[in-house]
Amino acid sequence: MYQAATAPGPPPTAREHGHNGVASARLRRTSAKTAKAGGGDGTSAELLSTSNQETGNNSHSSRNLTVREARPRGSRQESRRENLFIFDQPQREQIESSVTIATLQENLTAITAFNQREKALTASLNEEVARLTNELAKLNELREAEKLTYNKITSTQKEQPPSGPKERLLPDINGAVALTASTVALQQHTQMEVSYQRKVLSLENRCLHMTENNKKLLAKIQHLETSQTKEKTQLQTLRQDNFRLATQTENLASTISSQSALIIGLRTTLQKMSQDEHIADNLRKSLDHFQRDLDGMKKREKLLQEEHAKFKKTSVQEKETMMVKILSFQQHLQQSDTTEGIAKALETQVQKLQKEKAAVSVELEAAHYRCNDLLARLTLMDKVFEELAQMKVTMQKERENAEAELTARDQEINSYVQQLKAADTRIQEGKTRIREAEARNSSVQDLTTLINTRDEELATLMQKFVQLEGDLKDQEQRNLGLQDEVNRLNNELQNLKQLSQDETVQALQMARQKAANYEALTLLNEEKRSLEEQLQRMQERFEHERAALQEEKEAKEKLLVSLGLNHQILDELCKEETMLVEQTEQIRDVEKEVVQAAAPTTNEENITPDDFSQSNERLKTLQGQIDELRRSQGEMELGYKKLVSREKYKAESFQSQLRLVQGENTELTEKVEELSSNLAKEHQLTCTQDLEIADLRSRVMSSESIDLLRKTQDSLEKTVTSLMEAEHASESTFTCLQCMQLFTSPMTLAPCGHTYCAACLAKYGSVDEPSAISCRMCEGGTSQQAECIFPNHALADLTARFVFRQQSLATLTSMCLSLRNSFTSC
């Protein structure tokens, strides 16, 4: 199919059914004038002139309508142009140039269509003339052949002798018929020759009119070509301006991207700094926690030592009591040997007591082994505590060293900050001088190159300010050199004042700085928010750690309560031991009484029955006392076993606590190593962060530049809105009224001048046969058949440019919205 274009003239919305285009009206006028100039030469020429006059009148009425409709559009455009800001003059020039270009392109398309139409007509007329000449030649040949035949017939009739009277009575029927046929044929030939001659004359007159029209059209085309060359020059200038603006926008985009990358890097560095600060706080908290744990361990160690001393005392006392008991039992056995009557019972008791003694001795040996184990563990605990104390001392020393280093670094940072402030003041002075130089510059390109070079020099200077104090002197010398250069440029550029007050250039440059500052401020606000969130998280962690510390305190209090209970149990056991000692003393007294009672029986030979009964009663009482003593001894054994089991449980609990303490000590050592490594990393990160902070401070903009950026942003929004309104107003000229979409491969109909999409025309017929397609937009609802269909390439180009302009305006609107959001957020 063909490529796309629109009908020239007003937008399609202003067109009605039967409305003819401007180009077609102009062409009809020219054709009508030519027809009037050579009028009266033929019936066909008169018919053509009348038809052209009718179409010319229609086109004149349509032109009046388009002029009337174009007037409010022009007034609207003028009212809109009054509302534009700084860029009004170039925009007006662009609009006027675009309008003139559109009109020229419409005229060219109309002229080309008319030329094609005239060429087609001339070709068809030439073909008709050739055909008619051929037919005339054939008719002449036939006429000559008939004449020859007629002459032959007449000659033969004359040469024949006269026949008899009978033959002369009948007429020659065949000769009359031939004569009548020949006469009729001659009359027809003469009529055809006359009609053909008339047609040839009319065609010759039309050809003359066409040649005159072609000459006029050629003159118009030459005039249009001259105007087109002028407009091409204007277009080239406009394109150069557009290219310059595009380069400026690209530079702005590059600066924005570079500043966004810098801001992202700063954000990452700030996040790293916050993480490092968080790690340092955690390390400090862990150090405090470890110190608290060491204090708790010392307290536990003291309590264990006290319990160990108490256990030693109790074991010694138990040993002494057991030895006393054994001696008492041995004495009692020696005394019982003297008594014969009670010897057997006492022997059995002694055997039992010996067995118990063996068991008790075994238990005592086990207790000795346990005590030795506990002593060895206590020695190990002492060593561990000594190591922990040494580690604590080293940690304190390292902490003091780190604090000293941090104070030194803080002092260095403060000194660097002061230096940076001085450098900022100097840089601001340099910026003011650079602005003065920019105000006096002659061209935008020289300004941009100088500013870029100076920005690079300033960046290098700022880095050297941060690195060493000695570099400050070098930078001051460079600043002096820059000042000399600025003064030299000021002296050189005093004569060039064409672009000295170019507010657009200043606005664009300030817009760059403003966008960069705005993005930096937004990033700083986001980083502040992230830091606040991190502080909240730290507070929550502190609360969790406090809860954990409270739980540990409660566990420690429970341990202290359990230790108090153990002390109470030990006191009760001591009391029971004293009770047992008293009971053994009572047993000894009873045995003494028994011995004393047995002694008189041995000494006295004469025993009375009363004495015997008394002795029996005493023996019974003694046996009852012995039974009670056995019961009490069994109870004592049970209590002793309970004590031993309790002591075992305590020893096992102490062992488990020792293991836990050892594990905690290993964890503490590992954490201390991690803390030391993290501290080293933090020192490195703080150094890098200080450098990055210095860079950030050097890149902060002043309030004046921010105000200028806001003004430029407002002016950009106004210009973009005005451009969007203009584009929306001109959208109707690039839409097909059949499918109500933008033109895709537009095709223009001749002579009416209406334009459709190729797909829309294909629905009504084939493009190769124009007579089969009728225009649906002509007046009166009567569809007019198309004589010629041609692709409107100029309109296709304009639609493509319209789409490109819409896309670029959409990107500009998105940029304006992002800038507005950024300004509102800051």
Share of the chain above pLDDT 90, in %: 0
Interacting residues of 194 by C-beta distance below 8 A, sequence separation 6+: none
pLDDT in tens, 500-557: 344 444 555 566 666 666 666 677 667 667 666 766 776 676 677 667 667 766 766 6
- pLDDT band of residue 11 (cuts 50, 70, 90) is very low
Could you tell me which residues come within 8 angstroms of residue 595 by beta carbon, excluding any fewer than 6 positions away?
335, 338, 339
pTM: 0.23
**Is pLDDT of 194 > 60?**
yes
* The pLDDT of residue 753: 80
Residue-level pLDDT at 75? 46
DSSP 8-class letter at 750: E
Give the residue with greater pLDDT, 401 vs 697: 401
pLDDT > 70? residue 320? yes
* pLDDT band at residue 499 using 50, 70 and 90 as cut-offs: very low
pLDDT, averaged across the chain:
67
CA distance 758 to 736: 10
Binned at pLDDT 50, 70 and 90, residue 371 comes out as low
- Whether the pLDDT of residue 761 is over 70: the answer is yes
User: Considering only CA atoms, which of 83, 587, 140 is closest in space to residue 329?
Assistant: 587
Cross-strand partners of 790: 748
Distance (Å, whole) CA 596 – CA 635: 30
Task: Quote the pLDDT of residue 4.
Answer: 42
Q: Can you give the pLDDT at residue 470?
A: 58
**Distance separating alpha carbons of residues 657 and 384, to the nearest angstrom:** 13
Q: Is the pLDDT of residue 464 over 70?
A: no
Lowest mean pLDDT among 5-14, 68-77, 536-545: 5-14
Of the listed ranges 19-28, 714-723, 806-815, the least confidently predicted one is 19-28
296: pLDDT strictly greater than 80: no
CA distance 20 to 55: 9
| pLDDT at 135 (0 to 100) | 77
Backbone angles phi, psi at 355, to 5 degrees: -60, -45
Yes or no: say if 21 and 754 are a contact pair by the CB < 8 Å rule.
yes
Q: Work out the burial of residue 546: count CB atoms within 10 Å of its CB; fewer than 13 is exposed, 13-18 middle, 19 or more buried.
A: exposed
pLDDT at 701: 62
- Number of Cβ within a 10 Å radius of residue 114: 23
Query: Looking up tokens 């052949």, which residue turns up?
Result: 145
Domain ranges, ordered by start, for the chain: 12-157+708-825, 252-701
Q: Which of the residue ranges 2-16, 64-78, 369-383, 569-583 has the most confident prediction, judged by mean pLDDT?
A: 369-383
Mean pLDDT of 661-687: 76
- What pLDDT is recorded for position 498? 44
Among 328-337, 399-408, 685-694, 710-719, the least confident range:
328-337
User: What is the model's pLDDT at position 466?
Assistant: 56
Structure tokens at 365: 């040996």
d(CA 191, CA 194): 5
Q: Are 4 and 736 in contact (CB under 8 A)?
A: no
The SS3 assignment for 735 reads strand
pLDDT tops 60 at residue 631: yes
Least confident of 142-151, 490-499, 665-674: 490-499
Predicted local confidence at residue 165, as pLDDT: 44
Strongest mean pLDDT among 13-22, 78-87, 453-462, 679-688? 679-688
Residue whose tokens read 């744990």: 293
Mean pLDDT of 756-762: 85
